C-alpha cells in the first residue's frame, strides 16, 4: 500500500526561527516515517514582495540546509527548490486562467500584505495562493501540514482543484464516471502546543516579518545572542510561570518554549517553574534553547561546508519532483485541450 503523500514548503526569506522549527519542520521530520514526503524551498513565493536578488540563491541554500539540519532526511523525503521545477510556474498559469479574481481579492493574507506595501503591490502577490495551489496539486498531495494562517490558501487550492478543474474538465472514464484530474488535498492540522509567539508580545505569532529582531530567535543565532534576546523578552510582574492564564500570554509562551526545548512534558515544566521568578527562569530557558539548537547548528555547518553534497541532495530532489510534476502537468494540459507536443 502506498503511503499518503504530504507536501509543504517555506520561503527562503530570512533565517528560519523557533516558530518554523517547533511549529512546522519538527512535524515534517516525524511525518517522514509514515508518509511520502515532499519538502520544497518556495523561492518563487519569495519574489512576490520586493526582494534582494544578490541574496536569493544564498538564502535558498540556507533554507535547504536548515531543513536537513533539522532532520529532514533526503533518503526519505524529496527536498527540492520550487523554481528548479518549471511545472510550478506552468501549472500556476493554467490555474490562473480558471481562478476567479475575486477569490484572490478576498484572501486575508493578501489584504494584510497589500496594506503594508502600498503601491508596491505586484500581481504576483495577489497570485501567490494560485502558485501555492500549483505546488500542492502537482504532487497529488493528500495532506498539507499548514498553520492557521495558511488554511484559507489551502481551501482555495481545494476549490480550484474541485470546482474549476475537476468539475469542468474531467473526462468520462469507460464506466461513464468523471475521472478526476487533480487530487483534492486536505489540511493536516498540526499538533497543538507548538504555536510559538513573539518574544516581545505574547499575543502575536513569532514571525520573520516582524521588524524587531528581538522578537524571534532564529535557528542560526549564536548562544550569546539567544541569551540576550531571552533576557530582554517581555515579562510581567507576577511571580511563577503558568500555562493558560489569559492575562499572562508571555508566561504561557515562554513556559511552553521551555517545555518543548528541554524535552520535558508540559506538566513537569509547569511544576518546576510554578514558584520561580523570571530572574531564575530566563537563564534556564536560554540554556535549554542553546542546548536544543546546538546539534541543529552543527549539522547546518556540516552541510554548508560541503556545498557539493548539498547541491547533490537538491539535484536528486529536483529530478524526483520534476518526474512527478510533469505527469500531473501533462494530465492538466490534455484535459484543457492543448495540442500535445510533437503532433
The set of catalytic residues is 113, 205, 208
Closest CA relative to residue 335, chosen from 182, 183, 185: 182
Could you give the CA distance from residue 36 to residue 141 in angstroms, rounded to a whole number? 9
Cβ closer to ligand TRP: 153 or 216?
A: 153
Tell me the closest approach of the beta carbon of residue 132 to ligand TRP, in angstroms. 4
Query: Residue 41: beta bridge partners?
Result: 10, 81
Burial of 307 (0-12, 13-18, 19+ CB in 10 A): exposed
Tell me the closest approach of the beta carbon of residue 240 to ligand TRP, in angstroms. 35
Tell me the closest approach of the beta carbon of residue 317 to ligand TRP, in angstroms. 15
Cβ closer to ligand TRP: 68 or 137?
A: 137
Binding mask 200-229 for ligand TRP (x = CB under 6 A): ------------------------------
Query: Residue 37: beta bridge partners?
Result: 6, 77
Cβ closer to ligand TRP: 42 or 286?
A: 42
Closest CA relative to residue 91, chosen from 137, 37, 45: 137
The pairing of beta strand 36-41 with beta strand 77-81? parallel
Cβ closer to ligand TRP: 34 or 209?
A: 209
- Indicate whether 17 belongs to the interface with ligand TRP (CB under 6 A): no
- Indicate whether 20 belongs to the interface with ligand TRP (CB under 6 A): no
Residue 84 DSSP code: G
Tell me the closest approach of the beta carbon of residue 213 to ligand TRP, in angstroms. 19
The two most distant CA atoms of the chain are separated, in Å, by 76
Is residue 151 a contact partner of residue 126, using CB atoms and an 8 Å limit?
Answer: no
Could you give the CA distance from residue 42 to residue 64 in angstroms, rounded to a whole number? 10
Binding mask 34-53 for ligand TRP (x = CB under 6 A): --------x--x--------
**Rounded-to-5 percentages of helix, strand, coil across the chain:** 55, 10, 35
- Indicate whether 135 belongs to the interface with ligand TRP (CB under 6 A): yes
- Indicate whether 138 belongs to the interface with ligand TRP (CB under 6 A): no
Residues near ligand TRP (CB under 6 A): 7-9, 11, 42, 45, 132, 135-136, 144, 146, 150, 153
Amino acid at each position: 500500500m502506498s503511503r499518503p503523500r504530504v507536501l509543504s514548503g517555506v520561503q527562503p526569506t530570512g533565517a528560519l526561527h523557533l516558530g518554523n522549527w517547533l511549529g512546522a519542520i519538527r512535524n515534517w521530520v516525524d511525518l517522514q516515517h509514515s508518509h511520502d514526503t515532499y519538502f520544497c524551498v518556495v523561492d518563487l513565493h519569495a519574489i512576490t514582495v520586493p526582494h534582494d536578488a544578490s541574496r536569493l540563491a544564498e538564502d535558498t541554500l540556507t533554507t535547504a540546509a536548515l531543513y536537513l539540519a533539522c532532520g529532514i532526511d533526503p533518503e526519505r523525503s524529496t527536498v527540492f527548490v520550487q523554481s528548479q521545477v518549471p511545472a510550478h510556474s506552468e501549472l500556476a498559469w493554467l490555474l490562473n486562467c480558471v481562478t476567479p479574481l475575486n477569490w484572490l481579492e478576498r484572501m486575508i493574507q493578501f489584504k494584510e500584505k497589500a496594506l503594508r506595501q502600498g503601491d508596491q503591490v505586484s500581481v504576483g502577490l495577489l497570485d501567490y495562493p494560485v502558485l501555492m495551489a500549483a505546488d500542492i496539486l502537482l504532487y497529488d498531495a493528500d495532506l498539507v501540514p499548514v498553520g492557521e494562517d495558511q488554511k484559507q490558501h489551502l481551501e482555495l487550492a481545494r476549490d480550484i482543484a474541485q470546482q474549476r478543474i475537476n468539475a469542468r474538465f474531467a473526462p468520462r472514464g469507460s464506466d461513464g464516471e468523471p475521472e478526476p484530474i487533480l487530487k483534492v488535498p486536505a489540511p493536516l492540522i498540526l499538533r497543538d502546543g507548538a504555536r510559538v509567539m513573539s518574544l516581545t508580545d505574547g499575543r502575536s505569532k513569532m514571525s520573520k516579518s516582524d521588524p524587531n529582531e528581538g522578537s524571534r530567535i532564529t535557528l542560526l543565532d549564536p548562544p550569546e545572542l539567544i541569551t540576550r534576546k531571552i533576557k530582554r523578552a517581555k515579562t510581567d510582574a507576577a511571580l511563577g510561570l503558568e500555562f493558560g492564564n489569559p492575562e499572562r500570554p508571555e508566561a504561557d509562551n515562554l513556559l511552553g518554549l521551555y517545555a518543548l526545548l528541554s524535552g520535558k512534558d508540559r506538566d513537569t515544566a509547569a511544576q518546576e517553574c510554578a514558584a520561580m521568578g523570571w530572574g531564575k527562569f530566563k537563564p534556564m530557558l536560554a540554556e535549554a534553547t542553546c542546548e536544543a539548537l546546538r546539534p541543529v547548528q552543527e549539522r547546518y555547518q556540516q552541510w554548508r561546508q560541503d556545498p557539493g553534497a548539498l547541491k547533490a541532495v537538491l539535484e536528486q530532489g529536483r529530478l524526483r519532483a520534476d518526474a512527478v510534476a510533469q505527469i500531473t502537468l501533462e494530465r492538466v494540459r490534455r484535459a484543457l485541450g492543448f495540442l500535445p507536443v510533437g503532433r
